[in-house]
């Protein structure tokens, strides 16, 4: 019993009977997780191999990233211009009188 200290700590047979299905479910989950990881790795390897065979895709991706950066800059400039314009046309907030001024009125 020295090789299995966990099993030696279990005194009740019912507890052992309950642990067997739980362990089986956990092992099934680990096996399915390992299978999903392997499938993902094989798909990623295929994508990497495919990218190497199509050199134009990488250039197109770089061009698209540049276009997105340019569009982001335009949107930021337009947003700032709109905010400046709306701030210039916004009515100025009237400051309420202080407490002593209101009491003397």
pLDDT one digit per residue (tens) for the chain, 105 residues: 455 666 666 677 777 788 888 999 999 999 999 999 999 999 999 988 877 666 777 788 899 999 999 999 999 999 999 888 877 776 666 666 666 665 665
Looking up tokens 């052992």 gives 16
> 38 is written with which tokens?
């392997």
pLDDT of residue 12: 74
Cα distance between residue 11 and residue 5, in whole Å: 12
Collapsing DSSP states into helix, strand and coil, what is residue 12?
A: coil
- What pLDDT is recorded for position 1? 43
Task: Give, for 26, the enclosing helix (H) or strand (E).
Answer: helix 13-53
User: What count of Cα atoms within 13 Å lies in the side-chain half-sphere of residue 40?
Assistant: 6
Task: Give the predicted TM-score (pTM) of the model.
Answer: 0.39
């Amino acid at each position: 019993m020295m090789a299995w200290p966990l099993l030696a700590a279990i005194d009740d047979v019912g507890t052992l009977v309950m642990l067997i299905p739980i362990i089986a479910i956990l092992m099934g989950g680990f096996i399915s997780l390992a299978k999903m990881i392997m499938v993902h790795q094989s798909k990623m390897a295929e994508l990497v191999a495919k990218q190497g065979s199509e050199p134009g895709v990488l250039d197109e991706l770089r061009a698209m990233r540049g276009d997105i950066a340019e569009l982001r800059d335009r949107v930021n400039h337009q947003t700032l211009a709109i905010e400046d314009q709306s701030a210039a046309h916004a009515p100025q907030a009237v400051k309420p009188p202080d407490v002593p001024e209101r009491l003397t009125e």
